[in-house]
Each structure stands twice: as C-alpha cells, then as structure tokens.
Structure 1
C-alpha cells in the first residue's frame, strides 16, 4: 500500500510536469506557424502528416522498447519530447529543420500516451479505474493551466518570444523524464508483446479510428479558425485553454465517476452527441450572428472550450479496453496499437480537411465533424451494458 501511494505521488508529479510542458507548447504552436512562416490552411493541413506520423508508429516504438519497464519507456518519451523542444528553439527559424524537430517532439508526446494510460490503470483499485483516470486528468489539467496560463499572462502579443516558450517547456519535460526514471513498479516489469491486434478489441479500434478523425479536425483547424477567421492572437487561444483547464478540474473527475457509475457505453454515447452539437456551433457561429465576428466570438470560444472538455471523455475507451484485457502487459500493448489506429485518421484527415476548407469553407468542415460525432454515438451503442462486465484486471 505504501509503495503504491509513493509511486502514485511520483506519477502525479510527472503528469503535472508533462502537462505544463505540453500546455505551453500546444497553446502557441499554431500562432508560431502562422507568425513565423505565414502558411495557408492547406499547408497547415499537410503539415499534420509528418507531425502525426509518430502516432501511427507508436506500436513500433513500443515494440522496440518492449524489454524496458513501462516507467522507463515514459522516461524515454519525455526525454525525446524535451530534445524536440530544444531543437524547435534552436533551429525553428528554418522550415525544414522546424518540421524535423516538430516530428521529434511529437514522437515523445505520442509515445507517452499509452504509457500514461497504462500506468493509471495499473495504479487503480478494482472497479475504480474511471475514478483514478478522472483524478489523473484533473492533475494534468492543473499542469495545463500553469503552462497555458503563463503564456496568456506573459507572452508579448506584438513580439511573441516563441523560443523562450519552447525552452521553458523543455525544462519541464526534462523534469518529467527524471521523475519517470525514479519510479519503480516491479509488477509491470514483465516483457510486453510487441503487437496486439485481437478480434475482441475490434470495437475499441473502430472507436479509436473515428475519434482520431474527429479529434484531428478540431485540434488542427479549431485554433486555425480563431486565428484566420476571428484574427485572435496566441494569448486568446491560451486563455481559452486556461478556461477549459479550470473547468476540467471538476469535469474530469465527474467523467471518471460517471464511467464507474453508468458505464462507458453511456458516456461514449453522450460524448458523440455532444461532439455533434459543439462542432455545429463552432462551424456556424459566424452565420448565426449575422457575420459579426465580435458577436460570434463568444459562441465560438465557448464551443472551443467545450470541445476541449469533451476530449476528457475518451478515458471511457481506456476503461472499456482494460475490461477486455487479460493482463497489464496486454493493456499496454493494446493501448499502443490503439494510438496507432487513432493516428491512421489523424495523418490523413487534416490533408482532406484542408482541401475541404479551401474548396467549400470551414463551415462544411465542421459539419462533417458533427457527422462523425453522431457515428461515434451510434457505434458506442454496440458496446456491452454496464452490468455485463467481469472484474477488471
């Protein structure tokens, strides 16, 4: 019990550091690309292909590192993210070199995804996985508040110092790597399977694919709408992320409680329907307000915040998958495969989405995202009900 509590404290500190680093980096990335290179929405869409490539390759990266304990893989991931951020600060003035460093930092971020979820499941008590996922999410949110909040308060609107942001985030990532390295969880040290693609996980993989498509539309073009359509600076986007993060301190534990209480099928269904309404509101806010950007901005900002909150509900997929798994090592390997499946859509959708924006307008793009939300809700109804599950591993 004492060892579990000690490891949980280490883990929560690590999560806070990595969330603060990602919060600062993610809140300025789109403004950095627009301010430094003045790229178009089509180029922005194409840029997601190399940026999301590490997500597709996560299953290969974790396979190559299968001899390492999960905590040490987390340390490698955080160190890789740190190196990419340092490279962005040092070489980010050159577009080709910037792309290389962005891919390196992305590799670290994506490698951390299955490791973090796997550790959370391993540290949870039976029947309380959703609750711990929510609590870890709240800690992550607090870290994001710190990272994005500092950007909102300190970044110069007229002459933003992106290099300072990247170096500050790199320091936090280095601290996260050190904390991961200090963790010790012997029951997770068994060798993992290199690749898990089993029929029992087919609905999990399908949901990951659909969520990867809808997620990438909003992650890539949500900020782009605020920048290009509403003319907002990095501080505005960082401020909205702070609002989403503050609300997330309460929303994420509530989602975890709802998963344990009502089951992941109910939570995923609500998530899909909510995605549809949020995407419609975001895409058509300007039309609803008669073309007045000042009147539409609060509605668009509210939808941006709500969509960031809805990402939290993806923890229901982790709980669903963990109920099907037969061992902790199978959870880690399946989560890695899930990240790769998710990024099949993440790599291809932004290119098509950029073309839709250029040809039909951003409204039609978010209309398509709303349709994906309804499909997610429909597929979620195929999952077993809450009372059909055996105890979790």
Structure 2
C-alpha cells in the first residue's frame, strides 16, 4: 500500500506542477507581446534567462545535504506558485524577466528532484508504464489548466489571472501535504560529488540534444502561432487544449509502445518524426497545417520517456541523485544559449531557426542508433560488448 501511495504522491505532485506551469505558459506569448511589447530577440532572452536555473541544477547535489529530497520538492512547488502569482504584477521587460526567473527556480528544481525520486521509487520494469500514466495525468492537468485560464481571462486582467493561478497551485500543494502527510519516499544516500561517468556518455549526449530541440519547440513553435499567424489568447488556448487532449487519450499508449519497441526503436521513431516536423515548420504558410504540426510535435516529443527508461536500466543506484542533477544541467546548456541566439536569427529568418532544429533532430537519430536493443549496466551502447571483449 505504501508503494501505491508513493506513486500517487509522485503523480499528484507532477499534476500540480503541470497545472501551474502550463497555465502560466499558455498566456505567456500573448502577455509578453500585448503587455510587454516583446520582439523576437527579447522573447529569446526571456527563455534563455528562465532556463538558467536548469543550468544550475547540479547545485541540488549540495542542497540535499541539508534538506531531504521530498521536502525540497514541495518547497520548489511553492516557489513555482509564487513566481507565477507575481507574473502579472510586472508589465515591463525586466519585471517579467524577474518573475519568470523566480517561477523557473521552483520549476527546474522540482523537476530535478522529482526525476531522482521517480528513479528511486519506481522499478525499471514499471517505469515506462508509470511514465505513461504520468503523461496521461499531465495531459489532464493541462486540460484543466486551460479550462481554468479560459474561464478567467475573459473577465480578469492578466495580473489577476496569474495571481489566481499561483494561489490555486498553493492550495493544491497544501492538499498534498495534508493528504500524504505519512508518506516517506525512498531517498537513498548518493554521491555528493559532481561526477561524469563514461558509462553514461551516450545518455549525456542525447540529453543535451533533447534540451536544444525542446527550446526550439517550446519557444519558437508556440511563438510562431502568435507572431506569424496572429492568433488570439482563446485561439492559442484551443490549440493547447487539443494538444493535451491527445496526450491525455494516448499517453498510456506511449508507455506501452516503449515497452514493446524498446528504448532504441522508440527514440529513433521520435527523432525521425521530429526531423520531418521541424523541416515542415520552416516552410509552413497555412495556419491549420502549422497547428497540426504543433500537435504532432508534442505527441512525438512525449516519447522522450524512453530516454528516462534507458537511463533507469543502465544506472547504478548510488548515481541516481547526482546523475539526475547533472543531466538537468546538461539538458539546459543548449536551453540557455540557443533561445537568445536563435531569437536574433528569427528576426531575419524564422525558417533558419527550424532548419537548425531539424539538424539537431538528425544528429539525435544518429546517436540513438548507438543504443543497444537490450540496455543494462555494462551494456550502455552498442560498443560496450566490444570494449569488454578487448579488455578480456
């Protein structure tokens, strides 16, 4: 029963994070364009700045010396909610940057700790199915977030809409604290050093590429809907709702696909699909085709749970916390640098931004081919057995 409650606790925590973050995010492009007067370069700068805490995720290794991972995750959720509540109070570039940075601190540190706790409390056999269930609940959280925003934005200003989102999130956090007050998640002692291991090199590379691709999707695919096609808040909300309805309905299927195909084939399928989608983004002129690409993009990106499943199969227990922290830092190297650089490119050529994204997807396909069909500790890449043979 404690194992079941631990999983429920993890799922509900992710549900709250998803609800608050995506309610913040769905309004963001309209807010920064209509209120902040942002151009493409300032938009890229905003996303580079808000990804900075992700680059500093390795600090979690040291913070968890003084505070338990479970408590730190809850604290991070509170910071996330406070940052979102503050967002509408600032209507200039630097004020919006500040509130986004506070929100981002909570978001990224929660994501880092939650990943560590998930690896430690869910077995490698159950992980793809569990992550499929998490994706499904995230789809539901997004749908509820968008209905919530949709009901508020027509009667409230951006300021009070964001305040309502943040306060609602805090209430949900208090509910989790009360509902699961007796639950203690497994949190094993971990290395307090920043350690990069050769065994995980392929995972590090794929994680870096994932972070770079993700920013192009999150920042520029959604920004294009507003900047290029002049969609309103309600139209963007409708697209986001359709996107997460698809995720809600098919997320468990994604988990089963990963179980059946395995990590190697699943990631090859994901990256190949994203390659086609990014190329299509570069030349799309029809708003309905762009919307279809956006929904498909989000669906295939969800297959990234296969990368987490791959790590779970090759990682030693004592490396879980430190690797979770380091992987978030690696993931955000590109996330911090690319948005502001590509924001400058966007001003002169939006198509080139997506061509760069397709190039990253192609490189990802190449590296995913190096994953063995049956990964395990000691068999992290297709070269592992050959290396062992040479040593022998």
How far does residue 176 in structure 1 lie from its aligned partner after superposition? 4.7
1:239 equivalent to 2:235? Answer no
What root-mean-square deviation, in Å, do the aligned CA atoms of Structure 1 and Structure 2 show? 2.2
Residue matched to 1:376? 364
Change (3 A) 1:169 1:109: same
Q: Aligned equivalents of 2:87 and 2:275: distance in 1?
A: 35
3-state SS in 1 of match to 2:220: helix
Conserved? CA contact 2:22–2:145, under 8 Å: yes
How many positions carry a matched residue from both structures?
376
Alpha-carbon contact 2:81-2:103 (below 8 Å) kept? yes
- Give 3-state SS (helix, strand or coil) of 2:139's partner: helix
Whether the 8 Å CA contact 2:121–2:185 is kept in 1: the answer is: no
Instruction: Give matches, 1:228-267, under 5 Å.
Output: 228-267=227-266
2-structure distance, mates of 1:183, 1:139: 23
8 Å CA contact retained: 1:15, 1:176: no
- What is the aligned counterpart of 1:334 among 301, 323, 333? 323
**Normalization by structure 1: what TM-score?**
0.89
Can you give the 5+ residue segments of structure 2 that lack an aligned partner in the other structure?
379-392
How far residue 192 of structure 1 moved from its aligned partner, in angstroms, is: 5.2
Which has the higher mean CA deviation after the structures are superposed, 17-26 or 63-72? 63-72
| 2:131 equivalent to 1:133 | yes
- Counterpart position of 1:385: 373
The secondary structure found in structure 2 opposite 1:231 is coil
Which of the numbers 343, 349, 352 marks the counterpart of 2:332? 343
Separation in structure 1 between the aligned mates of residue 71 and residue 315 of structure 2, nearest angstrom: 22
Residue of structure 2 equivalent to 1:355: 344
Mapping for residues 1-393 of structure 1, pairs under 5 Å: 2-89=1-88, 91-156=89-154, 161-178=157-174, 179=176, 182=181, 184-185=183-184, 187-188=186-187, 190=189, 193-286=192-285, 296-327=286-317, 329-359=318-348, 361-386=349-374, 388-389=375-376
2:186 match: secondary structure? helix
1:332 CA drift (Å) = 2.6
Deviations 1:241-287 (A, max 9, x none): 1111111123321221122222111111111111011112222121x
Structure 1 residues 183 and 19, CA gap change in structure 2 (3 angstroms): farther
Q: What is the DSSP-based 3-state SS (H/G/I as helix, E as strand, rest coil) of the residue aligned with 1:206?
A: helix
Distance in 2 of aligned mates of 1:62 and 1:149: 37
Alpha-carbon spacing, 1:126–1:374, altered in 2? closer, same or farther (3 Å): closer
Counterpart CA distance in 2 for 1:207 and 1:117 is 17
| Partner secondary structure for residue 263 of structure 1 | helix
In the alignment, the residues of structure 2 paired with residue 250 and residue 116 of structure 1 have an alpha-carbon distance, to the nearest angstrom, of 24
Deviates more, 1:224-233 or 1:172-181: 172-181
What is the CA-CA distance between 1:186 and the residue it aligns to?
5.1
Q: TM-score, normalised by structure 2?
A: 0.89
Aligned structure 1 segments of 4 or more residues deviating by more than 6 angstroms: none
Rounded Cα–Cα distance in structure 2 between residues aligned with 1:342 and 1:284: 28
Instruction: Find the aligned partners of 1:69 and 1:311 in 2 and give their Cα distance.
Output: 31
- Give the Cα separation in 1 of the matches to 2:272 and 2:94: 40
Structure 1 window deviating more from structure 2 (131-140 vs 114-123): it is: 114-123
Q: Deviations over 1:128-177 (max 9, x none)?
A: 21110111111111111100233235423xx8622223222212432454
**Within 1, Cα distance between the matches of 2:185 and 2:227?**
50
